[in-house]
Chains A and B, each alone.
Chain A
Amino acid sequence: AQSVTQLGSHVSVSEGALVLLRCNYSSSVPPYLFWYVQYPNQGLQLLLKYTTGATLVKGINGFEAEFKKSETSFHLTKPSAHMSDAAEYFCAVSHPSSWGKLQFGAGTQVVVTP
């Protein structure tokens, strides 16, 4: 069985500071990994994904994440936070035997302060 752990349900960052959201997974086989963002009362939007190939992946809005197999991690970063980054962020994992089903982490709420 696979699972996803997001460390920190709430993160507060200053505008212009580094954003770091942590995600660790457990999976018996190499998974596909995703980060989604959700703005209030909206659906989820894909930020970036790792399936195969380069372990450092770049996404929309200046976010990037690095797949580290040895650490079973897929942490999300952005060098400089913007007020518009305030949202909830979800890490998710899937693998071929799950028929495309995603296992989501509990989410991290990001607050950006001026």
Chain B
Amino acid sequence: GAVVSQHPSRVICKSGTSVKIECRSLDFQATTMFWYRQFPKQSLMLMATSNEGSKATYEQGVEKDKFLINHASLTLSTLTVTSAHPEDSSFYICSATPGQGWYEQYFGPGTRLTVT
């Protein structure tokens, strides 16, 4: 199957700093990528939809100025958590679609963010 990678897999940062998470589709071009957040013992929550070359669309309640998403190429989307706080500590997961079948979503392994 198609492979999606995320980097870093784990990151610890201090409160007030910004953290960038990369999501890459390794063997296919992804016209659309999605970003999810998952708190401990909870389900995944969709944060935003990222389309190559255009602005991301955010789900209700997700601050677009805090969670900056860039999808500059067909294989890379980045999520930047700006001015991170302890409550932003979570498991961040991306997914990507090849474009021909929106239902074919391939998920990355996730990034564990801890803000101290």
Asked if A and B are interacting partners, one says: no
Q: Which residues of B contact A (CB under 8 A)?
A: none
